[in-house]
Amino acid sequence: MRILGGVDFNNEGFGLGDGFAFQAFLRILMIKHQAIGIDVAYIDDQTHPNARRQPYKRPLHLKRNLSMIHEFNPWVKSHFHFDSNAQFNDFLSRVKSNYIVWPILYDRFKYRGLYDRKAMIDFFKKEGYLPKLTCRQELINWAHDFCSDKLKNRKLIVIQIRNNPTRRTDKNANISAWIDFFKKRSQSPDFYFVIIGEEEEIIAKLRDQSNISFSKDFKTSFEQDVALMQIAFLVMASPSGPAEFSRYCGVPSLIFGVNPKYTEDVKAGQDYPFASDILKIFWGKETLELIDREFDLLYEHLLEINWRNPYSFKPVDNYPHRF
């Protein structure tokens, strides 16, 4: 048996972070059912009533990114794309005996959501880790090439600052606090900052700082931004798709500005279930004091434990992962 993960663009308003969580959850299902692999099906039915409604209606670039997140899951072998629910249902009727299907897309009354958050928390508590997601080797190689003339023996710090002018603005970062944080470190010989995200999120006031690059000035793709995260010494981010990826690739991370409105399984102030000594998550709007303190604490901790990112220093085998 194999796992078949289904993504119906007209079923719920999920984003990139949900896409990464979905891929990790499919691996958990694979372990639970002792399946031999994973396939993924995408359904984009433009005749569906939800196709032109929010939050289901998505720009093409976002839909494209959502349709390729399986590439970060080393256990996915095949992916299928369907233009209608009827087309998918016909396919499923012929192959259903070969699969354990998640979610049950063919029956809207049994739809269970893109992934089961509680099951992921239970898996983490029992096993002590989450399934690994990783970039393809060529993306990791690209990230090294991108940074080769910038680092000059400095630590790579990758940062994603949510600054979306139109969508879910309540999730945006405290921009003035971040500007002050970077200015305090403008002359530091120890780190180099690469800020990833959308082009519209670029903070113009930081363009002249010599130890900062904006990835979108180099027209990077979503997957290239994610590859930069994977080779980083440390990641700092707003709650977002890239922040979700850091949870599964193992890079030390500080996630600021978690809003309880978007965390159904955890109440504000509670410890986040996947937090650790190198993955810290903070509630509410960040302040300069909080960013400063937590960055210094985690940076010093990583130096003390002599932490090394296995993707930063030498070529690695394609898709290293934990079974």
Q: What tens digit of pLDDT does each residue of 28-50 get?
A: 999 999 999 999 999 998 888 87
For position 97, what pLDDT does the model report?
Answer: 94
Peptide bond just before 49 cis, omega within 30 deg: no
Residue 112 sits in the same domain as residue 177: no
For position 54, what pLDDT does the model report?
Answer: 67
283-315 tens-digit pLDDT? 888 999 999 999 999 999 999 999 999 998 645
> What whole-number distance in Å separates Cα of residue 203 and Cα of residue 182?
11
310 within some domain: no
278 within some domain: yes
Region class of 40: left (phi > 0), else alpha (psi between -120 and 50), else beta = beta
241 within some domain: yes
48 within some domain: yes
Tokens of 90: 């016909």
The answer to whether residue 81 scores a pLDDT higher than 80 is: yes
The answer to whether residue 111 scores a pLDDT higher than 70 is: no
Residue 227 sits in the same domain as residue 96: no
Residues 6+ apart with CB under 8 A from 251: 229, 230, 232, 234, 235, 309
Q: What is the CATH number of the domain that holds 46?
A: 3.40.50
The answer to whether residue 104 scores a pLDDT higher than 70 is: no
Average pLDDT over residues 73-102: 94
pLDDT over 70 percentage in the chain: 89
Confidence of residue 320 (pLDDT cuts 50, 70, 90): very low
314 within some domain: no
The answer to whether residue 277 scores a pLDDT higher than 50 is: yes
The answer to whether residue 316 scores a pLDDT higher than 80 is: no
Q: What is the CATH number of the domain that holds 231?
A: 3.40.50.2000
Mean pLDDT of all residues belonging to the chain: 87
Tokens of 309: 């990112």
Residue 66 sits in the same domain as residue 145: no
228-273 tens-digit pLDDT? 999 999 999 998 888 889 989 999 999 998 766 555 566 655 567 7
Which tops the pLDDT comparison, 255 or 111? 255
Report the domain count for the chain.
2
**Helix 16-33 and helix 241-249, axial crossing angle in degrees, nearest 10:** 30
Average pLDDT over residues 194-217: 91
For position 21, what pLDDT does the model report?
Answer: 93
Q: Is the entire prediction scored with pTM above 0.95? A: no
Specify the range with the lowest mean pLDDT, choosing from 123-127, 171-175, 180-184, 194-198: 171-175
The amino acid occupying position 223 is E
Residue 158 sits in the same domain as residue 116: no
309 within some domain: no
Specify the range with the lowest mean pLDDT, choosing from 164-178, 257-271, 274-288: 257-271
Specify the range with the lowest mean pLDDT, choosing from 5-14, 17-26, 189-198: 5-14
Residue 105 sits in the same domain as residue 248: no
* Residue 307 and residue 277 in contact, taking contact as beta carbons nearer than 8 Å: no
> What whole-number distance in Å separates Cα of residue 126 and Cα of residue 174?
36
> What whole-number distance in Å separates Cα of residue 70 and Cα of residue 24?
10
For position 322, what pLDDT does the model report?
Answer: 37
The secondary element (H helix, E strand) that includes residue 211 is none
Confidence of residue 112 (pLDDT cuts 50, 70, 90): low
Last residue of a domain, one of 127, 154, 185: 127
The answer to whether residue 106 scores a pLDDT higher than 60 is: no
For position 319, what pLDDT does the model report?
Answer: 45
Residue 123 sits in the same domain as residue 143: no
Give me the domain span that covers residue 84: 2-127
The answer to whether residue 90 scores a pLDDT higher than 70 is: yes
